[in-house]
Amino acid sequence: MESPEGDRIKASLSSTSASSPAVQDSPFFNYLSNLSPIQSVKAARYAQRFFESRFPTPPPVFRSPHVDLQRETSFLKSNDVDAGGSDGHGYHSNQVNNKLIACLQKEVQPSSPSACVDEYLTDPVEVEDSKISADLRVQPTNNVGQLLRCGFTGPRENIRKVNDANNGNPEGYVFMLPEQSRVNMPSSLNLVETADYQAESSTLPVSGAENPEQHVTQIVKLQNAGIQHNEQDGSCQLLPESLQSVEAYQDCSDSSRPVSKGSFKEATLYQRGIRRHLQFEAPVVCKSTTTHKSHSSHNVIQEVDNSKVPASHTDLESLIFSDVDPGEVSNGRESISYSPTIASWTSFSSSEFVGSNQHSRSLAISGPIPSDSGLHLKSIGGSGPMDSDLIPRLKLSGYMSSKDHGRRDCLAKDSNKSLFSPEAGEIHAHVDNYQQDNQTIVETGPAASQCSESMKSLCDSLHMTPSKQGVSSEKKAINTGEGDGCKRCNCRRSKCLKLYCECFAAGVFCVDSCACKDCFNKPEYEDTVLDLRQQIESRDPLAFAPKIVKHATNSPANIVEDGNWTTPASARHKRGCNCKKSKCLKKYCECYQANVGCSDGCRCEDCCNSFGKKADSVYRRVQRWENPSADGTKAGTLKQFSPRWEDLPDISHFTPLPLPYPKVLASSASPISDYQEVPHTQLHQGSTLKSSSGHCHWHSSMSFMPHLCESSAGHGCSSDSAFHDLLKDDDMPETLKETSTPTKTIKVSSPNQKRVSPPQSRSQELRSSSSPGLRSGRKFILQAMPSFPPLTPYMKSKNDTGHSDLKGEASDH
């Protein structure tokens, strides 16, 4: 309103507001609808767009999407978490849903969109709403199921098939994520990935099937994580940030790896082509990759259970496998949708997510889907009402979801962290890891703590679930968290419609905990929000992409040591920082804030980033990583999170995902959390903090987290940074690379199996102490996703359509 922007915004707003009800007729509306992923009917369109735009390629891939039933299962597990966790605020959800839907429709069945959608989307949402409220996360499974559904929905069967077929993944990277991250990732991610994978798999014959499996799981983390839980809904939102980061994990070739393997199938691989798929794989955590492999998804779950939550896990499985899908799915709604964004991201991420651990919650991302679902759920739930509406909602939901979150967001806040992303995905993960060590974890890193908390909540809820008691517990947890708030943005002049706003930037709606004024980043203005978002994306395709990307690559560094592991270290900021006075030692520096070292892409002066200086060679970083203490205070600690850097030359590459919906990101983010957790300072504090404060939150919400963190204490906060999202460099790069250099792409995809042991060092250690076995065992498999489609497509679609409109209006003034 106010100034120039005001006009634009107004325009948008007007459209928006109107849009929902009556406006549909207006051109804008159309435009929007096109843009917006979800708009009811349009899911299909959406999907198309995504496909078109994002995935120029291979439709086939998408087609298969659902395919991955298997994954679903696995995902389910994870998903559940995600779903639960995520509120769905984010637009993502919508996007995701859209994708899914699209996929489904296209491939699966166009005929009954609703059905399809329902299955996929629905689940999550509905489930969450109804169930969630009651159970909330009680049972992850549900969520999972939802997620899966969302993503894949029905398809389990399909998926499985695919998986089977694919078993051989072309490449798989195995990363050892920190526990936290691992856990998280999987769930949400899995879902997503699954979907994609499926496609891929189908498409890809994965030649390798034989390959040992490299399943790469990509995990995306949502940094933000801002997951919010709604008491009612139970859903949580992820913060944008969380979403942003994505991680990918590769699996070991071993075989199976973990979940991913099975589910993933991944082969995913290769996704590149496929990539798009969203997916996120699940991170499954394979404790021991090998060992557990057998049931990927199950494994994951199991692991989780074992370690932490037996009950839940059990439930999950059952749920997941069994009913959840169907029933819930059907019921539900699909809320989940993936938002387009997600899709885009997904592709994005999938290809490269990396997980940074920043936020533990990685869920988001990869989860983007999953997370989305979670988010969606919320949204759905929130919205409520209607199934039929779902679709439309979806659209909204993406953003909308936030509604719910809003409420509980606050709670979440502190908790928010916890809430946040983790939600589903993370939750699982967290659960495993965290639960076990919750405390430990907490200590470990703020992020961790957050995660753990969130996880706990989730877990609790899950566990509890059955009776619904869980809910209360959940709430408690959340509330406990504290109600606090978790602050989020504090915008005064941007109306929360610019990237200045963390919420908006993260792809999530503002919630109660936000202290913004004249906020338009609300579900009610979803249209506006989406429009502006598109505008911004058109201007900068990477605007909503996760800030942190992982390079996964094979860079020597990763391999370096044993070749086994890879490092998360590779994570770096997508655009690099431009610090002049902070020496990259304060949060003013986005790199530092994200717990990643500066890279060549940074233009900082006198860089002293404890996570890695601009000039540091990968090798050095690794060393630091390994011996943090030696280096420096923070560095050491930090390293844990971002242990090693590889060269990530190309930051720029990141793929641009058009829609950033957070959810996706969020999911992805979780993985990252690891990093965050550890954050330098935090570490020390962290441990304490968390516990004490408790609530710090979860990293997932990284972006938001800051506030929280702050309040909570540094730990949490610090963690947030960690949370940032990481995308895998690989992915990103690939994308970019693809564009620019085909070759790389390939590489990326094939780098293959590396296991990486996350830097968790400390955090892990801590944890490990508590429960060593798991940790070590867990591995995430990331598949390298192919690159993404170039930004362009996405842009185009949007631009074309809406773009003009919006711009026109916008430009007016």
Partner DNA sequence: GAGTTTGAAACT
Partner DNA sequence: CAGTTTCAAACTC
Chain residues that interact with DNA, rule: CB under 7 A: 3-5, 488-496, 498-502, 505, 536, 539-540, 543, 575, 577-583, 586-590, 593, 706-707, 710, 717
Q: Is the CB of 137 or the CB of 221 nearer to DNA?
A: 221
Q: Which residues contact 768 (CB under 8 A, 6 or more apart)?
A: 775, 776
To Zn ion, the closest distance from the beta carbon of 572 in angstroms equals: 8
The span of 169-177, 191-199, 406-414, 592-600 binding Zn ion (CB under 5 A) equals 592-600
To DNA, the closest distance from the beta carbon of 572 in angstroms equals: 13
Nearest to 733, CA basis, from 787, 658, 799: 787
To DNA, the closest distance from the beta carbon of 579 in angstroms equals: 3
To Zn ion, the closest distance from the beta carbon of 141 in angstroms equals: 31
Of the residues 259, 304, 489, 542, which one makes contact with Zn ion according to CB under 5 A? 489
To DNA, the closest distance from the beta carbon of 535 in angstroms equals: 9
To DNA, the closest distance from the beta carbon of 606 in angstroms equals: 9
Residue length, the chain?
Answer: 813
- Choose from DNA, Zn ion, none: what does 609 bind? Cβ within 5-8 Å by kind: Zn ion
Site residues for Zn ion, window 90-149 (CB under 5 A)?
Answer: none
Write out the DSSP string of 632-681. -HHHHHHHHHS---------TT-PPPS---HHHHHHHHGGGHHHHHS-HH
508 binds Zn ion (CB under 5 A): no
The span of 59-67, 147-155, 400-408, 504-512 binding Zn ion (CB under 5 A) equals 504-512
- Choose from Zn ion, DNA, none: what does 519 bind? Cβ within 5-8 Å by kind: Zn ion
224 binds Zn ion (CB under 5 A): no
The burial of 619, by beta-carbon neighbours within 10 Å (0-12 exposed, 13-18 middle, 19 or more buried), is given as middle
Q: Is the CB of 41 or the CB of 515 nearer to Zn ion?
A: 515
To DNA, the closest distance from the beta carbon of 806 in angstroms equals: 12
Q: Is the dihedral of CA 694, 695, 696, 698 positive or negative?
A: positive
548 binds Zn ion (CB under 5 A): no
Q: Is the CB of 462 or the CB of 726 nearer to Zn ion?
A: 726
Of the residues 510, 571, 678, 748, which one makes contact with Zn ion according to CB under 5 A? 510
- Choose from DNA, Zn ion, none: what does 493 bind? Cβ within 5-8 Å by kind: DNA
Q: Is the CB of 567 or the CB of 655 nearer to DNA?
A: 655
CA distance linking residue 309 with residue 301, whole number of Å: 9
Quote the tokens at residue 794.
Answer: 């996405």
Question: From the CB of residue 608, how many other CB atoms can be counted at a distance below 10 Å?
Answer: 19
To DNA, the closest distance from the beta carbon of 634 in angstroms equals: 11
- Choose from Zn ion, DNA, none: what does 581 bind? Cβ within 5-8 Å by kind: DNA
Q: Is the CB of 536 or the CB of 638 nearer to DNA?
A: 536
C-alpha 259, offset from chain centre: 17
Q: Is the CB of 165 or the CB of 519 nearer to Zn ion?
A: 519
Please tell me the number of Cα atoms within 13 Å of 689 on its side-chain side.
35
H or E element in which residue 489 lies: none
Nearest to 547, CA basis, from 677, 396, 702, 695: 702
Site residues for Zn ion, window 596-635 (CB under 5 A)?
Answer: 598, 602, 604, 607, 609, 614
Q: What are phi and psi of 783, to 5 degrees?
A: -105, 155
The beta strand positions in 331-433, using DSSP E, are 338-339
726 binds Zn ion (CB under 5 A): no
648 binds Zn ion (CB under 5 A): no
Nearest to 658, CA basis, from 507, 487, 473: 507
Residue pair 90/506 in contact by the 8 Å Cβ criterion = yes
Which residue is associated with the tokens 């020496």?
583
Site residues for Zn ion, window 737-796 (CB under 5 A)?
Answer: none
Residue pair 213/251 in contact by the 8 Å Cβ criterion = yes
Write out the DSSP string of 132-156. IHHTGGG-HHHHHHHHHHHHT-TTH
Residue 280 gets the label, from left (phi > 0), alpha (psi -120 to 50) or beta, of beta
To DNA, the closest distance from the beta carbon of 260 in angstroms equals: 31
- Choose from DNA, Zn ion, none: what does 394 bind? Cβ within 5-8 Å by kind: none
**CA distance between the termini of the chain:** 11
To DNA, the closest distance from the beta carbon of 720 in angstroms equals: 7
- Choose from Zn ion, DNA, none: what does 710 bind? Cβ within 5-8 Å by kind: DNA
- Choose from Zn ion, DNA, none: what does 4 bind? Cβ within 5-8 Å by kind: DNA
Q: Is the CB of 5 or the CB of 251 nearer to DNA?
A: 5
Q: Is the CB of 323 or the CB of 540 nearer to DNA?
A: 540
H or E element in which residue 807 lies: helix 804-812
- Choose from DNA, Zn ion, none: what does 663 bind? Cβ within 5-8 Å by kind: none
- Choose from Zn ion, DNA, none: what does 598 bind? Cβ within 5-8 Å by kind: Zn ion
From residue 166, alpha-carbon distances to 35, 100, 207, 254, 282 in Å are 34, 20, 8, 14, 16
Of the residues 584, 657, 659, 709, which one makes contact with Zn ion according to CB under 5 A? 584
Q: Is the CB of 634 or the CB of 644 nearer to DNA?
A: 634
- Choose from Zn ion, DNA, none: what does 498 bind? Cβ within 5-8 Å by kind: DNA
Amino acid at 215: H
Of the residues 336, 505, 516, 708, which one makes contact with Zn ion according to CB under 5 A? 516
The burial of 389, by beta-carbon neighbours within 10 Å (0-12 exposed, 13-18 middle, 19 or more buried), is given as middle
3-state SS, residue 216: strand
The burial of 136, by beta-carbon neighbours within 10 Å (0-12 exposed, 13-18 middle, 19 or more buried), is given as buried
To DNA, the closest distance from the beta carbon of 673 in angstroms equals: 16
Q: Is the dihedral of CA 592, 596, 601, 607 positive or negative?
A: positive
H or E element in which residue 428 lies: helix 424-429
To DNA, the closest distance from the beta carbon of 526 in angstroms equals: 18
CA distance linking residue 255 with residue 718, whole number of Å: 36
589 binds Zn ion (CB under 5 A): yes
CA distance linking residue 456 with residue 17, whole number of Å: 38
Q: Is the CB of 296 or the CB of 609 nearer to DNA?
A: 609
514 binds Zn ion (CB under 5 A): yes
503 binds Zn ion (CB under 5 A): yes
Residue pair 237/378 in contact by the 8 Å Cβ criterion = yes
To DNA, the closest distance from the beta carbon of 810 in angstroms equals: 8
To Zn ion, the closest distance from the beta carbon of 607 in angstroms equals: 3
CA distance linking residue 503 with residue 19, whole number of Å: 22
Q: Is the CB of 254 or the CB of 502 nearer to Zn ion?
A: 502
69 binds Zn ion (CB under 5 A): no
To DNA, the closest distance from the beta carbon of 812 in angstroms equals: 12
Quote the tokens at residue 207.
Answer: 């030649």
239 binds Zn ion (CB under 5 A): no
Largest CA distance in the chain: 65
To DNA, the closest distance from the beta carbon of 657 in angstroms equals: 15
From residue 573, alpha-carbon distances to 80, 92, 549 in Å are 29, 21, 6
Strands 246-250 and 216-220: antiparallel
- Choose from Zn ion, DNA, none: what does 540 bind? Cβ within 5-8 Å by kind: DNA
Q: Is the CB of 529 or the CB of 785 nearer to DNA?
A: 529
501 binds Zn ion (CB under 5 A): yes
Q: Is the CB of 201 or the CB of 357 nearer to DNA?
A: 357
To Zn ion, the closest distance from the beta carbon of 761 in angstroms equals: 22
Give residues in contact with Zn ion (CB under 5 A). 488-489, 491, 496, 501, 503, 510, 514, 516, 519, 521, 577, 579, 584, 589, 591, 598, 602, 604, 607, 609, 614
